[in-house]
Amino acid sequence: MSTQLRRSPDPKASVDSAAPSMQWWLVLAGTVLLIAGSFLSWSFTPAILGNVTITGLPAPLQIFTIVIGVLGLFLLLLRMGRFHHISTLLDSARGLRALGVTATAYLVLVVLVIALQAPGLANADPGVFVCLVGAGLMVAGSLRMPSDPTVDPISVHLPSWAEILVIVALMALVLFGAAYALGQEDGTVFSLFLLFLSGVVVALQRAGLFGWIGVIAARNRRVITLGAFVVAFLFPLTQDGSDANMSIATQVLIFATTALGLNIVVGLAGLLDLGYIAFLGAGAYVSAMMSHSAFANIGWKPPFLVVVLIAATVSSVLGLIIGSPTLRVSGDYLAIVTLAFGEIFRLTVNNLDGNNGPDLTNGPNGIPGVPELEFGSFKFGDTHEIFGITLGRFANYYFLLLVVAALIITIFTRLNNSRIGRGWIAIREDEKAAEAMGVNVFGLKLFAFAGGAFLAGMAGSIKAHQDVSVTPDQYIFLESAFLLAAIVLGGMGTVAGVLVGATVLKLLPEKLRFVADYRLLTFGLLLVLMMRFRPEGLVPSGRRALEFHEDDERLAAKVEESHIEKVTPTGGRT
């Protein structure tokens, strides 16, 4: 949707540069009311919604509406013909429409929450209704507004410092937003924040900002990667020793790391693996069995780095064993076999308890008491102080996992962008033709499969220590399904997509009771909606998007254009 070229049929028809039209004034009135109302009191009850009772001092929830109002004002100014540089890029009418709808939905929800939680509609103050009227006016005004003609963002070149500045600002926003979202204890406020966030994102996307940011990001790939890692490294510093949030962040990171490995199998090689969690489990079990845990049944305790290698190797050998007979046949067989393999793994570790075989895994009890990691004198269980900021146990693991994630991302991108990566794409496109052109189809599939298992084993060996115990019920089919869901949701074949997908899938249940209670229902619905409206995922790779839209000529033209932009020397090739 954002990736489509938009060209208004009649370019002269729209911009109200000379004399602002009726609609323009209507929207202006709406935004002003929205902002003014946000400074008023919204409710008599201070206990709900993070206290929105104080006139003149907006609470976070009210700041959100102010942000919407300010964005609206900005877009209105664009319509006046101000900021000519940007106004050619953005379609303010579509943006305003989305903003108006977001504001309305947001305020209706706020009123509902007040009515339900306060309880009673009588507890709502006039402020919230002033805002609601303002939002309604925004919608009414923008509905009839003609679209702006926009130019293709690729043709717009800013000085490179300005582009980098945009990226830095974006990163800062992401860091700030993540810290804020994680800090929310109140589920209602969290959901409203999500609504606000997604609304603004949609509005800016409608306006065409994301197309532009995408172009900038493609031009400054290194800056954006570096920035993302800086943000990720800075994140624990914003938490100041709060273990609750860091625990969630570590969970997200382990999940994302595993999903990245799976994305090599699914996204790059195009193989459907439904038992991937078993490889993670194998790594975790090997690591636990070789740890100093009192319940570990293997006498040999090598240093951790050796354990990581052994765990990863064991996983990849399992991958080879599963892969070599099944990868020769095409299609769904692999999915079924991997599904069965996941079950076999679970049943095996459940039964290797000394009664039904060698005593390796302690059966259903698992291996508890896996000790904390130690690198030299650095103990991962201890709390450390850096610049007066406390970094707890989870922060230590977080940093370690970040290094692993960086490693896997490097492997992912470099493989994708090599002879092997080309072979994978060729296999996905046309397996017969690839074979006839000399591509080692079986070998490359097997490599993807075993390589993915290797990375999962690596992640698993760390997970064992971070979780303190390893039990069979951590590695069930459902987890494989969630990993796959993260990839489908985020976008096959991209790093950013998987990170987004993994974050959404892990964060939502932690923060929202509703999602946690109805996890399968919500995720199922989410996936159905994705399949219907955006099968390529939230952040797809251009090529993957094309594969899902075989006859979208405009998309093909668009992808080609951005590719040519990337490889021509003028486009700032990285």
Partner 1 sequence: MSAAAIHDDAAMAQASSGAVVLQATGVTMRFGGLTAVNNVNLTVSEGEIVGLIGPNGAGKTTFFNCLTGMYKPTEGQVTFQGTVLPPKPRAVVQAGMARTFQNIRLFANMTALENVMVGRYCRTSAMALTSILRGPKYRHEEEATRERAKQLLDFVGLSNTAEHLARNLPYGDQRRLEIARALATDPKLILLDEPTAGMNPKETEQAKELIFRIRDLGLAVVVIEHDMRFIFSLCDRVLCLVRGETLVEGSPVEVQRDPRVIEAYIGTPDEDEVDDEAAKEEHS
User: What does the alpha-carbon distance between residue 242 and residue 336 come to, in Å, rounded to a whole number?
Assistant: 42
Q: Report, in Å, the least distance between residue 433 CB and partner 1.
A: 4
Token pair, residue 539, equals: 């952040």
Q: Rule CB under 8 A: choose which of 436, 516, 525, 529 binds partner 1.
A: 436
Q: Does 456 engage in binding with partner 1 (CB under 8 A)?
A: no
Q: Report, in Å, the least distance between residue 533 CB and partner 1.
A: 21
User: What does the alpha-carbon distance between residue 270 and residue 264 come to, in Å, rounded to a whole number?
Assistant: 8
CB 1 within 8 A of CB 70: no
Residue 301, SS3 per DSSP: coil
Q: Does 418 engage in binding with partner 1 (CB under 8 A)?
A: yes
Window contacting partner 1 (CB under 8 A); options: 175-183, 277-285, 425-433, 478-486: 425-433
Q: Does 547 engage in binding with partner 1 (CB under 8 A)?
A: yes
Q: Does 437 engage in binding with partner 1 (CB under 8 A)?
A: yes
Q: Does 422 engage in binding with partner 1 (CB under 8 A)?
A: yes
CB 367 within 8 A of CB 361: yes
Which CB sits closer to partner 1, 18 or 567?
567
Token pair, residue 492, equals: 């096959």
Contacts with partner 1 by CB under 8 A: the residue count is 37
Residue 133, SS3 per DSSP: helix
Token pair, residue 393, equals: 């146990």
Q: Does 268 engage in binding with partner 1 (CB under 8 A)?
A: no
Q: Which residues pair with 359 in a beta bridge?
A: 353
Window contacting partner 1 (CB under 8 A); options: 313-321, 340-348, 439-447, 475-483: 439-447
Q: Does 403 engage in binding with partner 1 (CB under 8 A)?
A: no
CA-derived radius of gyration, the chain = 26
Q: Which residues pair with 385 in a beta bridge?
A: 390
User: What does the alpha-carbon distance between residue 203 and residue 213 come to, in Å, rounded to a whole number?
Assistant: 14
Window contacting partner 1 (CB under 8 A); options: 17-25, 48-56, 423-431, 498-506: 423-431
Which CB sits closer to partner 1, 310 or 409?
409
Q: Does 411 engage in binding with partner 1 (CB under 8 A)?
A: yes
Q: Does 429 engage in binding with partner 1 (CB under 8 A)?
A: yes
Q: Rule CB under 8 A: choose which of 419, 474, 515, 537 binds partner 1.
A: 419
Q: Report, in Å, the least distance between residue 565 CB and partner 1.
A: 10
CA dihedral 114, 115, 117, 122 (to 10 degrees): 80
User: What does the alpha-carbon distance between residue 375 and residue 369 come to, in Å, rounded to a whole number?
Assistant: 18
Q: Does 439 engage in binding with partner 1 (CB under 8 A)?
A: yes
Q: Rule CB under 8 A: choose which of 340, 557, 573, 574 binds partner 1.
A: 557
H or E stretch covering 325: helix 304-326
Q: Rule CB under 8 A: choose which of 153, 227, 275, 451 binds partner 1.
A: 451
Q: Report, in Å, the least distance between residue 439 CB and partner 1.
A: 5
Number of H helices, E strands in the chain: 23, 4
User: What does the alpha-carbon distance between residue 541 and residue 429 come to, in Å, rounded to a whole number?
Assistant: 15
Q: Which residues here bind partner 1, judged by CB under 8 A?
A: 410-411, 414-415, 418-423, 425-426, 429-430, 432-441, 447, 451, 543, 546-547, 556-557, 559-560, 563-564, 567-568
